[in-house]
Amino acid sequence: MGKRGIETLVGGFELLRQVGLVFLALQAANLGSFSNHRDTYTVTARFDNVGGLKVRAPVRSAGVTVGRVTAISLDPQTFQGVVTAEIDRRFRFPKDSAAKILTSGLLGDQYIGLEAGGDDANLEAGDTIAQTQSAVVLENLIGQFLTGRAADAGSGDTGAPK
Question: What Rg do the C-alpha atoms of the chain give, in angstroms?
Answer: 23
13, pLDDT greater than 80 = yes
State the pLDDT at residue 60. 95
- Phi and psi for 5 in degrees, rounded to 5? -65, -40
User: Beta strand pairing status for 40-47 and 128-129?
Assistant: parallel
82-140 pLDDT, tens digit each: 999 999 999 999 999 999 999 887 777 899 999 999 999 999 999 999 999 888 777 77
How would residue 157 be classed by pLDDT, with cut points 50, 70 and 90?
Answer: low
Higher pLDDT, 130 or 156: 130
What secondary structure letter does DSSP report for 11? H
Length of the chain as a residue count: 162
Which of 8-12, 66-70, 117-121, 145-149 is most confident? 66-70
pTM tops 0.95: no
For 84, residues 6+ apart whose C-beta sits below 8 A from its C-beta are 42, 43, 44, 69, 70, 71, 72, 73
Regarding predicted confidence, which is higher, 91 or 25?
91
Residue 134 near residue 47 (C-beta atoms within 8 A): yes
Are 144 and 114 in contact, with CB atoms under 8 Å apart?
Answer: no
